[in-house]
């Protein structure tokens, strides 16, 4: 396709792998086809249209529905580490794809990938949930809700643009880009990925000890973990991914990437209650909780980090034959990291919450007791 947006298509998609002891492959393939039939835009292509505008171009009655589903066999040995299997499963998809991967140990991974330029976590898990035997495929709306989202996003994230357009952010990004290239070229080393299990009992005690206040009547897991993540990575400027759909008053069927980032200086995140208060009102912009300014100088100390939370989207995906998953995990790629550290909070199972931290080796970690190391 002429003018295809290859750079955007090369951006890592949202991807997860859900593990099963067995999978009815023909039934899953048929279910995928039913989802695509309701949502033909999933087989579209991103392209630049008139005036260099980005478009999702697709046929309303596509003839290539079968391309949305792939069945493969993993060549890795049965004793291969989970992170190595996850790296093999991660792949690039144009817009959307479901992959059934037969692993050597006899289990089956169902990988679902969605181009991040097309949809956010909310869109992704709406589609993911349609694979469930107890759910029905439904049509989602791919048309953008606004002609120009910049103004709407800017009004809800008033502190983000000023905090990001600084010499501090430029220096941290350049340092991390140069460090990545240097290590990859000379030492073949990449950013480190560390995974922690969140201790539910310890977290419940922290929540119970919270003294309710008007702007923070309770603490969520996200409040506590976000505060801890920024502290453990010595963050001077932290970004927290926020789903803006409620604030934008969007329909649940609206497709798109409606995630904005709220920004936090150290004084804004030290207390989990302040993290809660900063976004507790789901109809309002971010509230800055401290008088501490955001770092702006070329020589400002500290790190630049980002965290996102998928826990609220989790769905226990039951396939044909009432087959239930043994695990659900994000697929992350080793790659260029403009941030000093990234954090992803997710449900591996209904009762198992984990935090995946990707960081440059120089980023120190001071881990709180409620995070238990799983792998590094």
Domain positions in the chain: 6-129, 149-314+333-375
Inform me whether the pLDDT recorded for 11 exceeds 50.
Answer: yes
Q: Where are the alpha helices (DSSP H) in 79-220?
A: 82-89, 121-129, 149-156, 160-164, 167-186, 200-209
pLDDT score of 336 more than 90: no
Q: How far is it, in rounded angstroms, from Cα 145 to Cα 94?
A: 22
How much is the average pLDDT of 27-39?
Answer: 96
Same CATH topology for 6-129 and 149-314+333-375?
A: yes
Q: DSSP per residue over 199-238, as a string?
A: -HHHHHHHHHH---BTTBSS--HHHHHHHHHHHHTTEEEE
> May I ask the CATH class of domain 6-129?
alpha beta
Structure tokens at 11: 């951006």
Burial of 196 (0-12, 13-18, 19+ CB in 10 A): buried
pLDDT of amino acid 286: 97
- Per the model's pLDDT, the better-predicted residue between 155 and 6 turns out to be 155
Question: Which has more pLDDT, 186 or 218?
Answer: 218
Taking 50 as the threshold, does the pLDDT of residue 110 lie above it? yes
Question: What pTM did the predictor assign?
Answer: 0.90
- For the domain 149-314+333-375, what is the CATH code? 3.30.559
What pLDDT sits at residue 1?
Answer: 33
What's the confidence (pLDDT) of residue 47? 79
Which pLDDT does position 145 carry in this prediction? Answer: 78
Cα separation, 41 vs 248, in Å, equals 23
**Residue 6 pLDDT greater than 70, yes or no:** no
């Amino acid at each position: 396709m002429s003018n295809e947006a290859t750079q955007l298509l090369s951006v890592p998609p949202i991807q997860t792998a859900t593990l099963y002891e067995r999978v009815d492959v023909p039934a899953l393939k048929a279910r995928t086809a039913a989802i695509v039939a309701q949502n033909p835009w999933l087989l579209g292509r991103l392209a630049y249209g008139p005036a260099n505008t980005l478009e999702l171009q697709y046929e309303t009655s596509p003839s290539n529905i079968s391309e949305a589903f792939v069945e493969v066999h993993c060549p890795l040995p049965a004793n291969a580490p989970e992170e190595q299997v996850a790296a093999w499963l991660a792949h690039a998809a144009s817009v959307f794809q479901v992959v059934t991967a037969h692993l050597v140990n006899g289990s089956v991974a169902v990988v679902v990938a969605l181009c991040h330029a097309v949809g956010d976590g909310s869109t992704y898990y709406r589609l993911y949930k349609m694979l469930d035997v107890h759910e029905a495929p439904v049509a989602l709306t791919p048309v953008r809700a606004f002609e120009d989202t910049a103004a709407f996003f800017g009004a809800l994230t008033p502190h983000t643009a000023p905090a990001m357009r600084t010499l501090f952010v430029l220096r941290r990004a350049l340092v991390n880009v140069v460090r990545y290239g240097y290590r990859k070229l000379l030492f073949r080393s990449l950013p480190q990925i560390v995974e922690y299990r969140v201790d539910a009992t310890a977290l419940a005690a922290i929540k119970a000890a919270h003294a309710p206040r008007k702007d923070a009547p309770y603490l969520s897991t996200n409040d506590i973990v976000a505060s801890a993540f920024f502290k453990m990575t010595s963050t001077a400027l932290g970004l927290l991914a926020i789903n803006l759909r409620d604030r934008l008053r969007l329909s649940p069927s609206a497709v798109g990437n409606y995630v904005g980032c709220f920004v936090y200086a150290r004084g804004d995140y030290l207390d989990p209650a302040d993290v809660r208060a900063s976004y507790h009102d789901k109809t309002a912009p971010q509230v800055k909780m401290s008088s501490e300014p955001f770092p702006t100088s070329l020589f400002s100390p500290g790190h630049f980090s980002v965290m996102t939370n998928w826990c609220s989207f989790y769905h226990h995906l039951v396939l044909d034959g009432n087959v239930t998953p043994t695990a659900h995990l994000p697929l992350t790629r080793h790659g260029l990291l403009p941030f000093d550290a990234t954090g992803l909070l997710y449900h591996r199972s209904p009762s198992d919450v984990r935090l995946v931290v990707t960081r440059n080796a120089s980023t120190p970690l001071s881990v709180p007791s409620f995070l238990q190391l799983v792998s590094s």
